Amino acid sequence: MNKDIERVLLSEEELSEKIRGIGNRISEDYKDKDLILIGVLKGSVPFMAELMKRINIPCKMDFMAVSSYGDSSESSGVVRILKDLDFEIENKDVLIVEDIIDSGITLRYLINYLKAKNPTSVEIACLLNKPERREVDIEVKYLGYDVPNYFLVGYGLDYAEKYRNLPYIGILKEEVYKK
Ligand code: IMP
Ligand code: MG
């Protein structure tokens, strides 16, 4: 195990099983729809890669990159778009694919932004949820796990752009970020 990890919260096997289940549900729910998956870079990449392999209906994929303005620990509620969509989403069934929902500010912004483009529907698939940290009400249609309020890394989640490549989700040792 990586030396900076306190303990593994979710193993690669657990994640894979969970995502298989989510993929099955999406395949069923969207079989008569016009599905486009929109991943939020970069954290969603491993989840997106696993999830799309478990979706057995036709779908498109696109990515957006966003960042919060200003102080990174206190989100201002203003989100800046770094990479916009490649495709039109009018009359499409949009499914946002995200790694983790914390305050909910990023997702609320994205939902409003995407809805303005007149898709048929906008829903969320999110691997992790920190309910304790929620500031804005967001309905997540496909959720992997509720997690406690630890700083988590791996499976796409980073600390200072590191640890995204860990195949599991781990709790980062406090000494790593409290220096
Ligand atoms: P929100 O706008 O506060 O919901 O922020 C969500 C974003 O914060 C996620 O997409 C992650 O990039 C980041 N984030 C929240 N919690 C964690 C964590 O425990 N580890 C790594 N990144 C996190
Ligand atoms: Mg993110």
- Ligand 1 site: residues with CB under 6 angstroms? 43, 75, 99-106, 151-153, 157
Confidence tier at 13 by pLDDT (50, 70, 90): very high
Measure the CA–CA gap between 164 and 44, rounded to whole angstroms.
Answer: 10
Name which residue sits closest to atom 16 of ligand 1, judged by CA: 102
In sequence order, what are the residues at sequence separation of 6 or more whose Cβ sits closer than 8 angstroms to the Cβ of residue 88?
A: 117
Token pair in block for residue 61: 């994929």
Separation of 50 CA from ligand 1 center, angstroms?
20
pTM above 0.85, yes or no: yes
In tens, the pLDDT along 23-68 reads 999 999 999 999 999 999 999 999 999 999 999 999 999 999 998 7
| CB of 36 closer than 8 Å to CB of 93 | yes
Per-residue model confidence as pLDDT tens digits over 84-142: 999 999 999 999 999 999 999 999 999 999 999 999 999 999 999 999 989 999 999 99
How far apart CA 163 and CA 167 sit, in angstroms, is 9
- Going along the chain from its start, the domains and CATH numbers come out as 12-149 (3.40.50.2020)
Helix axes 12-29, 45-53, angle to 10 degrees: 60
How big, in percent rounded to 5, are the helix, strand and coil portions of the chain?
25, 35, 40
**What does the alpha-carbon distance between residue 123 and residue 112 come to, in Å, rounded to a whole number?**
11
What is the pLDDT, as a whole number, of residue 14?
A: 98
User: For residues 132 and 13, what is the distance between their CA atoms, to the nearest angstrom?
Assistant: 26
Which atom of ligand 1 is nearest to 102's Cα?
A: 4
Cβ density class 8-34: b for 16+ within 10 Å, e for less: bbbebeebeebbeebbeebeebbeebb
Phi-psi region of 118 (alpha: psi -120 to 50; beta: other; left: phi over 0): left
CA separation for the pair 78, 89 (Å, rounded): 23
**107 alpha carbon, closest ligand:** 1
Total residue length of the chain: 179
pLDDT digits (tens, 9 = 90+) for 64-83: 999 876 555 555 667 899 99
Q: What is the pLDDT of residue 68?
A: 75
Q: Check whether 17 has a pLDDT greater than 90.
A: yes
Q: Output the CA angle 137-138-139, nearest 5 degrees.
A: 130
